């Protein structure tokens, strides 16, 4: 199988970390196995604004449409602070999310043993941690209307956000959660606030019904979202997969992520609905971090989040779980060997730049596949 990838490096360190992913792709292609990759490239974000006046061109969108997976670096930077709001760098990412209806956001929080001391929690709590937060990405409080600030007659203002969810929006994300859980520990937590929110009641009822109809083999536990936030700190390893709405997912995924050390370590995936004919989902893979203007162009960026995002693409879009494991093991080995980019540096270990880290991971992958 030839998998079509669209690589959109973007701006700042997005460009630097994308080179390291290309290095890994080249190694997999060089192995001549049953799977290979055809990589197309295009501009997104500030780079696309500079070249074409828009954050993503129709041509790039057409490439994205035919790609099996989109690999996205990062966008933004102060150079584009003054461009009109509609064409700002982030508009490229938002267009991709919207046009492909990427409603399921997967944020793994994996604590590599070598980095357990970089966490703000005790080693015993986080060592070996492997949680997946599944966040609904296209509905809820961030998109519901009305969304406004209204001036009142008494001189005060009133801010309004509206949380809206429909049965089908909840059903489809809970199905994704159950399907993912089947490939993991077989257990799902669903976090919502049915004690005080009507959307929470709907989340609870639809989750229970969907679980009963679609995945009775999966163990389901309902948890109130604020208790979930507390339990994540108290005993994070009790969780394997947490599915939740857009707002709670935003907060819980950041909380879980920070247990693992640095922003430079965190991959993510955003999946759309499965195509009824092929069964495949449109998917975009990206590091959680931004374009890091403070370190861009200096070869300091940690490429691990980007490389781990590619591993997620192999797992979820290319049916190449074994190769994804090889990449994740290679990352763990390089960390075990004491190599660190500046963001995860610890006393007594070896400080390396973006390229050296990328090359070391690539070498481990090459050895594992030899």
Among 64, 292, 313, 334, contact with ligand NAD (rule: CB under 6 A): 292
How far is it, in rounded angstroms, from Cα 312 to Cα 21?
12
Q: With respect to ligand NAD, which residue has the nearer C-beta, 144 or 293? A: 293
Q: Of 7, 24, 49, 74, which one interacts with ligand NAD (CB under 6 A)?
A: 74
Instruction: Pick the catalytic residue from 42, 68, 245, 250.
Output: 250
Of the CA atoms within 13 Å of residue 287, those in its CB half-sphere come to 30
Residues 108-127 that bind ligand NAD (CB under 6 A): none
* Site membership for ligand NAD, residue 345 (CB under 6 A): no
Nearer residue to ligand NAD within complex by CB, 323 or 343: 343
Q: Are 39 and 21 in contact (CB under 8 A)?
A: no
Nearer to ligand NAD, 210 or 309 (CB): 309
- CA-to-CA distance for 197 and 182, rounded, in angstroms? 29
- 185-224 binders of ligand NAD (CB under 6 A): none
Assess whether 193 carries a catalytic annotation: yes
264 binds ligand NAD (CB under 6 A): yes
The Cα 196–Cα 111 span in angstroms is 33
Residue of 225, 244, 246 lying closest to 139 (CA atoms)? 246
Smallest separation (angstroms) from ligand NAD to the CB of 119: 16
Please give the angle made by the CA atoms of 16, 94 and 314, to the nearest 5 degrees: 55
Within 13-32, which residues bind ligand NAD (CB under 6 A)? 13
* Catalytic pick among 11, 42, 63, 193: 193
In angstroms, the CA 79 to CA 254 distance is 27
Q: Is there a contact between 160 and 197 (Cβ–Cβ < 8 Å)?
A: no
State the Cα–Cα distance between residues 138 and 146, nearest whole angstrom. Answer: 16
Q: Which two tokens stand for residue 18?
A: 């994308």
Q: How far is the CB of 75 from ligand NAD (least distance, A)?
A: 4
Which of residues 93, 114, 173, 361 is near ligand NAD by CB under 6 A? 93
Choose the stretch contacting ligand NAD; rule: CB under 6 A; options: 74-82, 132-140, 323-331, 356-364. Answer: 74-82
Can residue 135 be called a binding residue for ligand NAD (CB under 6 A)?
no
Nearest distance in Å: CB 267, ligand NAD: 11
Q: Which of 305, 307, 318, 334 binds ligand NAD (CB under 6 A)?
A: 305
Q: Looking at 225, 242, 247, 301, which residue binds ligand NAD (CB under 6 A)?
A: 301
The number of residues that bind ligand NAD (CB under 6 A) is 20
Confirm if 285 and 268 have CB atoms less than 8 A apart.
yes
Q: How far apart are the first and last CA of the chain?
A: 20
Instruction: Tokens 């295009």: give the residue.
Output: 42
Q: Enumerate long-range contacts of 53-60, CB under 8 Å, 24 or more apart.
A: 53/87, 54/87, 54/91, 54/92, 55/87, 55/88, 55/89, 55/90, 55/91, 55/92, 55/93, 55/95, 56/8, 56/91, 56/92, 56/95, 56/96, 60/6, 60/8
Minimum distance of ligand NAD from residue 190's CB (angstroms):
26
Judged by DSSP in three states, 220 sits in strand
Q: Near ligand NAD by CB under 6 A, which window of 109-117, 118-126, 148-156, 288-296? A: 288-296
Q: Is 226 a catalytic residue?
A: yes
Rule CB under 6 A: say whether 92 interacts with ligand NAD.
no
142 is catalytic: yes
In the bound complex, what is the minimum distance in angstroms from residue 44's beta carbon to ligand NAD? 9
Angle CA(347)–CA(350)–CA(351) in degrees, nearest 5?
95
Position 76 contacts ligand NAD (CB under 6 A): yes
Q: Which residues are catalytic?
A: 142, 193, 226, 250, 254
Q: Give residues in contact with ligand NAD (CB under 6 A).
A: 13, 74-77, 93, 263-264, 286, 289-295, 301-302, 305, 343
């Amino acid at each position: 199988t030839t998998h079509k990838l669209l690589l959109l490096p973007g701006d700042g360190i997005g460009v630097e970390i994308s080179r390291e992913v290309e290095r890994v792709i080249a190694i997999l292609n060089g192995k001549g196995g049953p799977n290979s990759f055809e990589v197309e490239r295009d501009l997104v974000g500030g780079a696309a604004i500079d070249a074409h006046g828009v954050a993503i061109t129709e041509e790039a969108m057409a490439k994205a449409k035919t790609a099996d997976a989109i690999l996205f670096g990062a966008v933004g930077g102060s150079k584009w602070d003054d461009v009109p709001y509609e064409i700002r760098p982030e508009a490229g990412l938002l267009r991709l999310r919207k046009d492909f209806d990427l409603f399921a956001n997967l944020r793994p929080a994996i604590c590599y043993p070598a980095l357990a001391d970089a966490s703000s929690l005790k080693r015993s709590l986080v060592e070996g941690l492997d949680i997946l937060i599944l966040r609904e990405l296209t509905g809820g409080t961030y998109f519901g209307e009305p969304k406004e600030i209204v001036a009142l007659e008494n001189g005060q203002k009133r801010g309004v956000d509206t949380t809206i969810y429909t049965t089908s929006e909840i059903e489809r994300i809970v199905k994704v959660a159950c399907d993912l859980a089947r490939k993991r520990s077989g257990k799902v937590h669903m976090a919502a606030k049915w004690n005080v929110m009507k959307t929470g009641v709907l989340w609870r009822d639809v989750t229970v019904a969907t679980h009963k109809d679609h995945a009775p083999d999966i163990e389901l536990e309902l948890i109130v979202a604020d208790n979930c936030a507390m339990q994540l700190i108290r005993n994070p390893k009790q969780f394997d997969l947490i599915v939740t709405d857009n707002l709670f997912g935003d907060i819980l995924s950041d909380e879980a992520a920070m247990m693992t050390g640095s922003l430079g370590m965190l991959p993510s995936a955003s999946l759309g609905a499965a195509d009824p004919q092929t069964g495949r989902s449109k998917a975009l893979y990206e590091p959680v971090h931004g374009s890091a203007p403070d370190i861009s162009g200096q070869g300091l960026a940690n490429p691990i989040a980007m490389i781990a995002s590619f591993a997620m693409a192999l797992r979820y879009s290319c049916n190449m779980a074994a190769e994804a494991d090889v990449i994740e093991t290679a990352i763990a080995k390089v960390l075990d060997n004491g190599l660190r980019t500046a963001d995860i540096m610890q006393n007594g270990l070896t400080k390396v730049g973006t390229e050296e880290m990328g090359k070391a991971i690539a070498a481990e992958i090459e050895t594992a596949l030899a």
